[in-house]
Chain A
Amino acid sequence: MSKPAILIYDLGGCEGCPLSIMRVYPQLINIANVYTKCLGKVDLDREYDYAVVTGPICINSPEHVEELKKIRKNSRVLIAYGSCASVGGIILYARGGQEPRPEHRVYAPISRVVRVDYAIPGCPPAPQMLISLLNCIRRGKGYFLDLFRAVALNPKLSGFDLMDEVVLNGLCVGCGACVLSCPTNALQMIDNRPDLIPEKCIRCGTCTVRCPRFSQILIQRSRLLQKASSLSRISGV
């Protein structure tokens, strides 16, 4: 069996995500042919089995938007990798106005611009993540795969959403998964419930997909969304 071709491409993130991928490069080359700017030229006009896009999309940069669309068109599976690409992450706070390009105002998860197959939060995800994910995609099913697909459809995920949707909504069971999933320690257990320290949250989204309640809600919602969109297609709405 020939190895799949995998493109790793950064759209203007901090480079932390592609570098975390570089760290498993010695393993990755055993399961895929890797194309990345870290090692040489990449060609966006050819086709790839997987495209792993890191970094957020700047809605005000037509060049980047075009690049992203091209990548979508030329790849079989598109993976939004890391918090910036999948849920927006720290860069959601951007407000533009900075020289020399004050017009770069709005940043978004890439699923705002193109259809994304799987979205993986993490700032940055641990290197092993990509290997596991590729293995899992090959097998084609399972709860976590559903979850990462759901993140692509509902990218509004942060510690604030965890509070709103789960904790303040009375659905939290106090398992502590979220507390152990925050890279900045923005969550702490108070009386068996997590509480958010707002100034520490960088909106990486990790806590939300680690929460058993939130992940379940996400998967269910994405099913409804998909159903609704296929219905509207049938009825021509």
Chain B
Amino acid sequence: MAYQPVVIDPENPLGYYTGIYLAQTADERVKRKLGPDYKGGGAVTSILLYLVEHGVVDAVVVARRKKGLYGETIIAKTPEEILEATGPKWSIVPYTLGLREKLTSMDVGRVAFVGLPCQAQFLRQVKMFPLMESDFSKKIYLIISLFCMGTFAVESFLNYIKKSYHVSPDEIENISINGDELVVKHVRGEIRIPIRDALFHLQHGCLTCPDYTGLFADLSAGKALKPGFTLLITRTKLADKIVREASNTGYLKLSEPDEESLRIVIEKAREKIMRSYKYLSTVL
């Protein structure tokens, strides 16, 4: 069996993996879409493009930002749809009944899923331990998880921006991270919010979550220290193969991860596990 059992352990916070890469998109469409001042890597989008354009999967399930902090889950089958979903997500986009219906009725065989660590856990369980006869286990081909320190309770966070900075939700155009500040672009300009202040608006459930990188995924991806780069952690042979192929076919540029990026991701992963222990003990 290709998949290694997951053990959550602060001594080994990245879990089992087969490779770690520093990746950068090599795809012009992705670069154009991200624009010059975007600090993320676009590597995930590039991998998805590779998967769809080379017929490795029939569709990908991704979250697309609808407006401000809200999003929706879509099943993308074309490069255009995938490109449209590019960019960071600030809230969790729930899986809904509609997703199962679409997946089962649509003529798709292999599907790649991009989600947050909690969703990766769900998908892994569906794939490995189908508790329901109607589970779409056979369609789950690849699980990609984005790094996650927690997601915002949307209404609460929006209300905070409105009260403290007088920017209303429909005025927000984009949110990005710069160092330890959140940069919120809006129609009239830009505000910078210290991450510390924003943390208060994280969902409580996220505080008990021990998973930063997505231990249950085939492939975990998140921002590297170096601007424009993505840190990729492959956890299965399949993921490893896909990442290499995407690089061989010109979608990605891969390099060795730098020590500092590695140190930080390990630190954050451990911090999240410790944080979860602390909060969990209060709710048991």
Contact = CB atoms under 8 A, between A and B. Distances in A.
Interface string A108-139: 00000000000011101111110011011001
A31 interface: no
A169 B208 CA distance: 12
Contacts of B135: 126
Given A120-B131, A216-B208, A179 B94 contact: yes
A98 to B, nearest CB: 29
A90 interface: no
Nearest to B121: A212
A221 B284 contact: yes
Given A122-B132, A126-B133, A206-B131, A179 B95 contact: yes
A169 B94 CA distance: 18
Given A180-B95, A213-B208, A126 B137 contact: yes
Contacts of A224: 284
Contact of B125 (A144, A183, A188): A144
B131 A220 contact: no
B151 A173 contact: yes
Given A125-B130, A177-B118, A180-B100, A171 B283 contact: yes
B75 interface: no
Q: Size range of the interface on A?
A: 35 or more
Interface string A185-211: 100110010000000000000100110
The CB with the most chain A CB atoms within 10 A, among B119, B132, B137, is that of: B132
A142 interface: yes
A174 B216 CA distance: 18
B129 A144 contact: yes
B118 A179 contact: no
Interface stretch (B5-13, B27-35, B45-53, B234-242): B5-13
A192 B94 contact: yes
A128 B137 contact: yes
Contact of B5 (A133, A139, A174, A176): A139
A217 B283 contact: yes
Contacts of A120: 129, 131
B105 interface: no
A173 B128 contact: no
Contacts of A171: 204-205, 208, 283
B269 interface: no
A129 B131 CA distance: 7
B106 interface: no
Interface in B122-147: 122, 125-126, 128-135, 137
B217 interface: no
Contacts of B5: 136, 139, 141-145
Interface residues of B, number: 46
B7 A142 contact: yes
Contact of B94 (A139, A175, A220, A221): A175
Contacts of A129: 129-131
A135 B280 contact: no
Contact of A174 (B92, B97, B128, B211): B92
A170 interface: yes
Given A136-B5, A145-B5, A181-B132, A174 B284 contact: no
Nearest to B94: A176
Contacts of A125: 130-133
B261 interface: no
Interface in B74-108: 91-92, 94-97, 99-100
B92 A175 contact: yes
Contacts of B6: 142-144
A179 B131 CA distance: 13
Interface of A: 20, 120-122, 124-129, 132-133, 135-136, 139, 141-145, 166, 169-177, 179-181, 183, 185, 188-189, 192, 206, 209-210, 212-213, 215-217, 220-221, 224
- Which 3 residue pairs of A and B lie closest in terms of their CB atoms, listed nearest first? A142-B5, A176-B95, A176-B94
Interface of B: 1, 5-8, 91-92, 94-97, 99-100, 115-119, 121-122, 125-126, 128-135, 137, 151, 154, 203-206, 208-211, 216, 276, 280, 283-284
Given A174-B94, A188-B97, A215-B121, 20 more contacts: A122-B132, A126-B130, A126-B133, A126-B135, A128-B130, A143-B216, A144-B5, A171-B204, A175-B92, A175-B116, A175-B122, A180-B96, A180-B100, A181-B132, A192-B91, A206-B131, A210-B125, A213-B209, A220-B284, A224-B284
26 contacts: A125-B131, A129-B130, A132-B128, A132-B130, A133-B129, A135-B1, A139-B5, A142-B6, A142-B7, A169-B283, A174-B205, A175-B92, A175-B94, A175-B115, A175-B119, A177-B95, A179-B94, A180-B95, A180-B97, A180-B126, A189-B94, A212-B209, A213-B205, A216-B208, A216-B209, A224-B284
